[in-house]
Structure formats: C-alpha cells, structure tokens
Amino acid sequence: MYWTLELASYLEDAPWPATRNELIDYAERIGAPIEVIENLKELPDDDTIYESIEDVWPDYPTRDEFFYYDEEEE
C-alpha cells in the first residue's frame, strides 16, 4: 500500500466512519485514481470500521506537523 497526500486527499470527504467496502464504493463514485482504490482493496476484508484517514493510513501527516521548511524564517 502506497499513500501520498494527493491520494489521501480523495478520502477527505469520505463518509466516516466507514467500512473497507464503503470506502471503495465512495472512491469509485467520486472518480478517484485507481491507486486509491487499489490501496483500499489492500485493507483487511472484514467488518472493520475506519473512523478517519488516520485509521487507513497510520502515517498520515496531521496539521500539527511541519510540512515545509523555509530558510528565510530562521
């Protein structure tokens, strides 16, 4: 499973909480790239309820994390 911020952005408005199959259905309906759907298909095929993108992608960067480094801010 390979996630990027761009791929994860397709799930921002997903109907959380959701099951794997609900997330796949949502991704297909919004026309998400095939990589998003393939990543979701790699999740366990059970009745696990995912509360947010952090449950799908544990390394999802939060808003508190520093994304960009600006040398002029030193």
Question: Does an H or E element contain 8, and which?
Answer: helix 5-9
Contact 39, 7 (CB under 8 A): yes
Total of domains in the chain: 1
Question: Whole-prediction pTM value?
Answer: 0.81
Per-residue model confidence as pLDDT tens digits over 13-68: 999 999 999 999 999 999 999 999 999 999 998 989 999 999 999 888 876 655 55
Is 63 domain-assigned?
no
Is 44 domain-assigned?
yes
Is 4 domain-assigned?
no
Is 2 domain-assigned?
no
Is 69 domain-assigned?
no
Residue 50 domain boundaries: 14-58
Is 5 domain-assigned?
no
